[in-house]
Structure 1
Amino acid sequence: MSQSFRQPEILDIARREGKVTVEGLAAHFGVTLQTIRRDLTDLAEAGRLERVHGGAVLPSGTTNIEYGERRSLNQEAKRAIARACADQIPNGISLFLNIGTSTEAVAEELKHHENLMVVTNNMNVANILAGNPGCEIIVTGGQLRRSDGGLIGNLAAETIRKFKFDLAVIGCSALDRDGDLLDFDIQEVSVSQAILRQSRKTFLVSDHTKFSRSAPARIASLADLDAFFTDAPLPPGLATACQSWGTRVVTSVRPDT
């Protein structure tokens, strides 16, 4: 397989898994380690990947992956995470769902829940749940981010402060090794922090690719949350920290494992 065909597939694998290894790619493509190293060097020089020992990861940066691309990544894993999360959401509560493809997957799993009041700053979530007659939907208002249907800014945060939610389900763009939840948009971060302050219980939904990504703005720590729903075991140090914090970790088995 030529370089022009390998490199797009290498990027696809990196987006699915968050990381690629030289040995794994060499076995996958049936080429030498040196060939893969050249591919990764080319991709790193183009800013598409960031070299690490033994392989490469998606680059750290100040901008998020495009929404359409994020929506198509790890769909089955997100569904598994969303089902596990939705199973822990009772009927008859007030619930906040924020911006993100993982929270949209949770909304899909709530279509048959009853007597929910769902507040959201995600137009996609509102549209997903519009067909559920057992769900009252309140949209926060705010500045519309056309790229993903998110509502951000002071108006969104002010609306949130008028409520006290039984439960909030949030996503994040990256999860740091110390357990900090990270994002790219400072306006979205301030809204997420308002959500956490106004919620009696909080869940995070995030797939394993977020473990190897970075973003510049801090939302909160896993220590501040009640439960974390994901699709792969946490790094040992972070798993131990979650135990000490009392943050429950629910790991859904990925379809390809």
Structure 2
Amino acid sequence: MSLGFRQSDILEIARREGKVTVDGLAEQFGVTVQTIRRDLSELADAGHISRVHGGAILSSGTTNLGYEDRRALHEAAKEAIAARCAEQIPDGAALFLSIGTSTEAVARALSGHRGLLVVTNNMNVAHILAGHARAEVIVTGGTLRPHDGGLTGGLTNAAIRQFRFDIAVIGCSALDPGGDLLDFDHQEVEAGQTILAHARRSFLVADHSKFSRAAPVRIASLRDIDRFFTDLPPPAPLPRLCAQWRTEIVTAGSEEAPAGPAS
């Protein structure tokens, strides 16, 4: 299912507030209650929400959104985050770009860089960088996830272990209040943990929607991340925790001082 703009906004409200009402959404968007009921029914049929009397609630955090839906959500925020992240990647660096729509945005933002070595388990990243004459691109191999172009499994992890990256750029599906990075696929999580173990520095790219989402599998903690690129200031207690852990928060479009120095 490809989400319309209003449905994407409804889903974001549901993530933020946990519940939406038909009457409240109709007033907010200036449409009829019948239109909102149709939007909610389509979102429920796609598994994004669960219908309840008078509205809907957010579905269980055990399955991810479809790839096309994720790619369409918060595109401007992801581009701004990617631009800030790319600014911190020097020419000639050895990088890993992981699975995810945010890391794909970083790949697009690297078009002006020279002399990069980019290793990835994301076929979409490889495709984006294929026309970049100034970057060498290595694909890890592994079991292909056809819905999003991700590569996971033992072959993927074995390939990652052959390298030592200057910087690893990863994403996550959710970020809980205690600073844990979460995802849905245990094999993707295992690849992410291997990536972090073989990187001198680690960057997380995640927009504000990840602050209110849930996912079942833990990748790592923000204490394991050097720089966290996002579009809005994270909610408490994350800024305090990042300051304690010396994890720098870089807010796209903000001139505010970071929460803590880079490790």
Q: Normalising by structure 2, report the TM-score.
A: 0.82
Identity %: 55
1:228 maps to which residue?
A: 228
- Structure 1: how far apart are the matches of 2:68 and 2:44? 25
SS at match of 2:199: coil
Whether the 8 Å contact between 2:123 and 2:139 is mirrored in structure 1 is: yes
Please tell me the residue identity of whatever aligns with 2:8: D
1:122 maps to which residue?
A: 122
1:89-123, Cα deviation, whole Å (9 max, x unpaired)? 00011000000000000000011210000000001
SS at match of 1:70: helix
Give the superposed CA RMSD: 2.9
Q: Write out aligned runs for 1:185-196 (5 A).
A: 185-196=185-196
- Structure 1: how far apart are the matches of 2:24 and 2:253? 21
> Which of 9, 14, 19 is equivalent to 1:13?
9
| Structure 2 gaps, min length 5 | 255-263
1:3 maps to which residue?
A: none
Please tell me the residue identity of whatever aligns with 2:205: V
**Residue range with higher mean Cα deviation, 216-225 or 61-70:** 61-70
1:61-93, Cα deviation, whole Å (9 max, x unpaired)? 221100011111111110000000000100011
- Structure 1: how far apart are the matches of 2:44 and 2:86? 42
| Structure 1 gaps, min length 5 | 1-7
Structure number with the bigger relative contact order (C-alpha 8 A, sep ≥ 6) is 1
Whether the 8 Å contact between 2:92 and 2:115 is mirrored in structure 1 is: yes
Distance change (3 Å), C-alpha of 1:200 and 1:80: same
1:128-185, Cα deviation, whole Å (9 max, x unpaired)? 0111111001100000000000100010000001110000000011111111000000
Whether the 8 Å contact between 1:19 and 1:56 is mirrored in structure 2 is: no
- Structure 2: how far apart are the matches of 1:250 and 1:184? 25
Please tell me the residue identity of whatever aligns with 2:221: S
1:73 maps to which residue?
A: 73
SS at match of 1:236: coil
- Structure 2: how far apart are the matches of 1:190 and 1:174? 16
2:140 maps to which residue?
A: 140
Whether the 8 Å contact between 1:77 and 1:207 is mirrored in structure 2 is: yes
SS at match of 1:201: strand
Distance change (3 Å), C-alpha of 1:19 and 1:251: same
Tell me if 1:246 matches 2:242: no
Distance change (3 Å), C-alpha of 1:9 and 1:69: closer
Please tell me the residue identity of whatever aligns with 2:166: D
Whether the 8 Å contact between 1:59 and 1:213 is mirrored in structure 2 is: no
Distance change (3 Å), C-alpha of 1:204 and 1:14: farther
1:204-246, Cα deviation, whole Å (9 max, x unpaired)? 0011111111111000000110010001111121111111110
SS at match of 2:200: coil
Question: Post-superposition shift, 1:126?
Answer: 0.6
Question: Post-superposition shift, 1:15?
Answer: 3.3
2:92 maps to which residue?
A: 92
Question: Post-superposition shift, 1:45?
Answer: 8.5
Q: Normalising by structure 1, report the TM-score.
A: 0.84
